[in-house]
Amino acid sequence: MTIKNKVIVIMGASSGIGEATSRLLAEKGAKLIIAARRLDRLEAIKAANPKADIHIQQADVTNYEEVKKVINLAMDTYGRVDVLYNNAGIMPTAPIVEGRRDEWQQMIDINIMGVLNGIAAVLPIMVEQKTGHIIATDSVAGHVVYPDSAVYCGTKFAVRAIMEGLRQEQGKNNIKSTIISPGAVATELYKTINDKQVSEDLHKAQKEWGLISEDIASAVAFAIDTPDRMAISDMIVRPTRQLV
C-alpha cells in the first residue's frame, strides 16, 4: 500500500512539522487522525482541506489516557493503524547552571514519555496486525551535544535509543521504526524557549537559513512510502548551511 488509504495518526500535528506533514499526507490521500492540545489549530487544518479524510482529537501526549483516545478513534473509524507519527516536542533550552527543573521535567514528559505513551498505545495493535510503522521526530540534537541544550539533547538521544530498541524487537512482526532527525527548521519551536534572547536568536537563524516544515514533511512521506522489505531507520535532514 502506498500513502493513499493508509491510516496515519499524527501526534503534535497543530503547527510546524506536524501541520505540514498533515497537509502533505492529506493531499496524498491518507486517512488521518491528527492530535495536539490546540484544538482550534487542528480544526483549521481540517477546514483548509475539506476534501481530505481528516479526524481530529485533542490530546496532551503526557496523558496516556488521552493518547489512547486518539488511537481508539483510529481503530473505531478504520479498524487499523498503519502509521503512528510521534512528533510532539518542546525545546526550552538553557544552560544547566540555571537549574530550570520544571522545564527539564516538561521536556522529559513531552519529548520522551510522549513518545513512549504513543508506542504503548499502538504497539499491541500493530503486533496483532503483524504490520505497522512508528515514526518519531528526533533531531540532530539526538546525535550530537552542544552547549545550553544538554537536556533537550538528552531527550532526543533517549528517543533515538528507544526507537532503535523498538526496531530490533519488532522487525520480526513487520513493524518499522523510523526517526527523522531535522537540523534547524523554521517553526514555532522557538516560542518554547523562555530565555528571550536565545529564543530570538534561534528564530532569526531559522528564518535566515533554516529548512521549512515542508522539507521534513517530504522526508516523512518518503519513509512511509517504502515497500514492506525496506525500512528507513534514521534520516538526518540538515539545512545545507548548518555546521553542527
Ligand X SMILES: NC(=O)c1ccc[n+]([C@@H]2O[C@H](COP(=O)([O-])OP(=O)(O)OC[C@H]3O[C@@H](n4cnc5c(N)ncnc54)[C@H](OP(=O)(O)O)[C@@H]3O)[C@@H](O)[C@H]2O)c1
Binding residues with ligand X: total (CB under 6 A): 28
Which of 7, 9, 15, 149 lies at the binding interface for ligand X (CB under 6 A)? 15
Q: Is residue 102 a contact point for ligand X (CB under 6 A)?
A: no
Residue 152 annotated as catalytic: yes
121-160 positions binding ligand X, by CB under 6 A: 137, 139
Catalytic-role residue among 64, 85, 146, 152 = 152
User: What DSSP state is assigned to residue 127?
Assistant: H
Tally helices (H) and strands (E) across the chain: 8, 9
- Rounded to whole angstroms, how far apart are CA atoms 162 and 103? 22
- Rounded to whole angstroms, how far apart are CA atoms 178 and 84? 10
Q: Is residue 239 a contact point for ligand X (CB under 6 A)?
A: no
Distance of closest approach, residue 185 Cβ to ligand X, in angstroms: 4
Which listed range, 92-100, 119-127, 166-174, 179-187, lies at the site for ligand X (CB under 6 A)? 179-187
Q: Is residue 18 a contact point for ligand X (CB under 6 A)?
A: yes
- Rounded to whole angstroms, how far apart are CA atoms 115 and 88? 8
* Grid coordinates given for 88: 510532539
Which of 24, 45, 84, 110 lies at the binding interface for ligand X (CB under 6 A)? 110
Q: Is residue 90 a contact point for ligand X (CB under 6 A)?
A: yes
Q: Build a one-symbol-per-residue string for 180-209: x at contacts with ligand X by CB under 6 A, - elsewhere.
A: --x-xx-xxx--------------------
Task: Give the other-Cβ count within 10 Å of 69's Cβ.
Answer: 15
Which residues have a Cβ under 8 Å from the Cβ of 3 and sit 6 or more positions away?
Answer: 25, 28, 29, 30, 221, 224, 225
Q: Build a one-symbol-per-residue string for 31-50: x at contacts with ligand X by CB under 6 A, - elsewhere.
A: -----xxx--x---------
> For 16, left (φ over 0), alpha (ψ -120 to 50), or beta?
left
> For 152, left (φ over 0), alpha (ψ -120 to 50), or beta?
alpha
Residues forming contacts to ligand X in the complex (CB under 6 A) are: 12-18, 36-38, 41, 60-62, 87-91, 110, 137, 139, 182, 184-185, 187-189
